[in-house]
A and B are shown apart, each in its own frame.
Chain A
Amino acid sequence: MATLEIEGKVFEVDGDGFLTEPSLWNEEVAMLFAKNDGIEEMNDKHWAIVNIIRRNFDEKGNAPMIRTICQETGLKLREIYELFPLGPARGACKVAGLPKPDGCV
């Protein structure tokens, strides 16, 4: 099991840097993971995306479709890609503390 150290805090992660234990996630973890991926400060839009992903995960056990994220935040697709340059999976889902989704992502 790999570990990731950000600002003195150590997290257990998979090889791709996704949190191994999603229940350990909290807002501070989100901010640290975002910073580690080059997002210096989480703005309201970042939080809106992350909160929807997190809620979907708590309710359904997986990441929401990008359509759900767009509809519930009112954000355009391209805005989401700009807010999380690594994309909804490797970017946003990682910050939201989800396991890495299966498939070509």
Chain B
Amino acid sequence: MDSILKFKDIDSKLLTHLNACVKCGLCADSCMFYKKFSDPDYIPASKVALVSSIYRRYNTLSGRLIPSLVGAEKMSQEMAERMVDLLFGACTMCGRCVKHCSIGVDIAFVVRKGREMLAEMGLVPSTLQSTVDAAVNTGNNMGIPEDEFVGTISWMEEELRDELNDQNASIPLNQKGKRVFYTLNPREPKFFPLSISAMAKIFYAAGESWTLSSKYYDVTNYGFFNGNKREAALIAKNLHDEVIGLNSALLVLGECGHGSRANRWEAPNYLCKEYEFDMTTAVELTSSYIREGKIKLDPTLNKEAVTIHDPCNLVRNGGLLQEIRFVVNSSAQNVTEMTPCGNDNYCCGGGGGLLAMSEYNDRRVGAGEIKADQIRKSGAKVVVTPCHNCVDQLTQLNHTYKLGVKIKTIAELVADAIIIEKT
């Protein structure tokens, strides 16, 4: 145990953040789990203290010699269970607490480090691990066989041709030298393919040169959640190498919060290299099409009141606040905001891999009541969000709390507003 929990190199960022927390408790009210359940263990500072106590015990002299005087605690069965429950099951690493911390302690980072410790000990919940295993073993997190993926893409291509009344409309597969390499969340081909044809319609209208890969199209990387950097690097490398293989200039990350973050901001660190190609998100690319006049939109085609759910990894932790609003406002005539929204938005409740972990279903849907109330108060009939994980949690909240709204991706909203000019 000592050798597993003893860091080989000093992690100066972790040390700084662990030492900086003064346990003032200001973070408490920023956390949806604490707000909903009032359990003091859910206070973000308590989670920092948990990681800190283990770190001190195995990485400092005082922690080894006089543990009780410096708040150092030994790893035990009980402690391990507590850490799994709080760091995997009661935190989505949404980072709202970080914004509310008077010192700026990166609590989400500390939680991720805690998850890394648990991963080293082999304590990742099996429900989360199976999603990582599927990605590592099959190339996508739902284990979709390649022929079934190809069949679904041809089917969507047929639908697209019918909708556009143009037999040349296409969803290209495995084409080399295209400008854009597009990616998907596997739940799209498996269960919700309308967002694939919606994005294909946008590419068609913009006259984009693009392709999908039939092998590595998965934008997700659950290695970002399970704390196993080796697996995260392996998953990132598969996608990286495929983009190189198909010789594309721009990797476009489909609508996925953590996947965008993991690929764009974390993956070059996983692989210890600078990427040879550029990367952007589907929302930013769509925004550029609108700004450059490549696609024309008629917002009156989306008449119902729309509100935006900001995915934590794209807005608070990704900087897409204005881009999302520009695209949505260009596509719908009646856009209303939730309170709070943008960088201070509440997580949907399903982030951090929580949606994959069945054992925390009640807690996840319970914490999501805050989001459900926000949606209800907004008066909107449609909730759009550029993240498939959020879409799924919001769908469950919609059903559980009887919100009576429609949940859509941004591409679906944009596709409904597109005017195709026949030449």
Task: State whether the Cβ of B131 lies closer than 8 Å to any Cβ in chain A.
Answer: yes
Give the residues in chain B near A66, CB-CB below 8 Å: 152, 190-193
A-facing residues in B126-179 (Cβ within 8 Å): 127, 130-131, 134, 141-144, 148, 151-152, 155
Task: State whether the Cβ of A104 lies closer than 8 Å to any Cβ in chain B.
Answer: yes
A16–B193 touching, CB < 8 Å = no
Query: Which of chain A's residues has its CB closest to B152's CB?
Result: A67
Give the residues in chain B near A77, CB-CB below 8 Å: 193-194
Task: State whether the Cβ of B395 lies closer than 8 Å to any Cβ in chain A.
Answer: yes
The DSSP consensus for interface residues of chain B is helix
Give the residues in chain A near B130, CB-CB below 8 Å: 102
Known contacts being A87-B395, A102-B134, is A65 close to B189, with CB within 8 Å?
yes
Shortest CB distance A93–B (Å): 9
Task: State whether the Cβ of B211 lies closer than 8 Å to any Cβ in chain A.
Answer: no
- CB contact between A87 and one of B141, B143, B191 (< 8 Å): that residue: B191
Known contacts being A89-B191, A103-B186, A105-B392, is A65 close to B356, with CB within 8 Å?
no
Task: State whether the Cβ of A74 lies closer than 8 Å to any Cβ in chain B.
Answer: no
B-facing residues in A68-91 (Cβ within 8 Å): 68, 70-71, 77, 85-90
Q: Nearest 3 pairs between A and B by C-beta?
A: A15-B358, A15-B361, A14-B358
Task: State whether the Cβ of A97 lies closer than 8 Å to any Cβ in chain B.
Answer: no
B-facing residues in A36-80 (Cβ within 8 Å): 37-38, 62-63, 65-68, 70-71, 77
Docked complex Cα distance between A17 and B399 (Å): 14
- CB contact between B151 and one of A63, A67, A87, A104 (< 8 Å): that residue: A67
Docked complex Cα distance between A42 and B370 (Å): 32
Shortest CB distance B408–A (Å): 12
Known contacts being A17-B361, A65-B189, is A85 close to B399, with CB within 8 Å?
yes
A103–B134 touching, CB < 8 Å = yes
Shortest CB distance A88–B (Å): 4
Give the residues in chain B near A16, CB-CB below 8 Å: 358, 361
B181-198 to A contact mask, C-beta < 8 Å, 1/0 = 000011101111110000
Q: Which residues of A contact B (CB under 8 A)?
A: 14-18, 37-38, 62-63, 65-68, 70-71, 77, 85-90, 100-105
A sample of 15 cross-chain residue pairs with beta-carbon separation below 8 angstroms, ordered by A number, consists of A14-B127, A15-B362, A70-B155, A77-B193, A87-B192, A88-B191, A90-B395, A102-B356, A103-B142, A103-B190, A104-B141, A104-B356, A104-B389, A105-B190, A105-B392
B142–A101 touching, CB < 8 Å = yes
Give the residues in chain A near B362, CB-CB below 8 Å: 15
Shortest CB distance B35–A (Å): 22
Give the residues in chain A near B152, CB-CB below 8 Å: 65-67
Task: State whether the Cβ of B336 lies closer than 8 Å to any Cβ in chain A.
Answer: no
B396–A103 touching, CB < 8 Å = no
Task: State whether the Cβ of B278 lies closer than 8 Å to any Cβ in chain A.
Answer: no
A86–B399 touching, CB < 8 Å = yes
Shortest CB distance B240–A (Å): 21
Docked complex Cα distance between A85 and B407 (Å): 11
Query: Which of chain B's residues has its CB closest to A37's CB?
Result: B399
Shortest CB distance A20–B (Å): 10
Query: Which of chain B's residues has its CB closest to A70's CB?
Result: B155
Give the residues in chain B near A100, CB-CB below 8 Å: 358
Docked complex Cα distance between A103 and B133 (Å): 11
B192–A103 touching, CB < 8 Å = no
- CB contact between A102 and one of B143, B395, B399 (< 8 Å): that residue: B143
B141–A103 touching, CB < 8 Å = yes
A103–B395 touching, CB < 8 Å = no
Shortest CB distance B128–A (Å): 9
Known contacts being A65-B189, A104-B392, is A14 close to B359, with CB within 8 Å?
yes
Shortest CB distance A26–B (Å): 23
Known contacts being A77-B194, A87-B192, A103-B134, is A62 close to B359, with CB within 8 Å?
no
Shortest CB distance B361–A (Å): 4
Task: State whether the Cβ of B220 lies closer than 8 Å to any Cβ in chain A.
Answer: yes
Query: Which of chain B's residues has its CB closest to A14's CB?
Result: B358
Shortest CB distance A52–B (Å): 14
Beyond A14-B359, A86-B396, A103-B220, 7 additional pairs, beta carbon < 8 A: A18-B358, A37-B399, A67-B148, A87-B392, A101-B190, A102-B141, A104-B185
B362-402 to A contact mask, C-beta < 8 Å, 1/0 = 10000000000000000000000000110010011011000
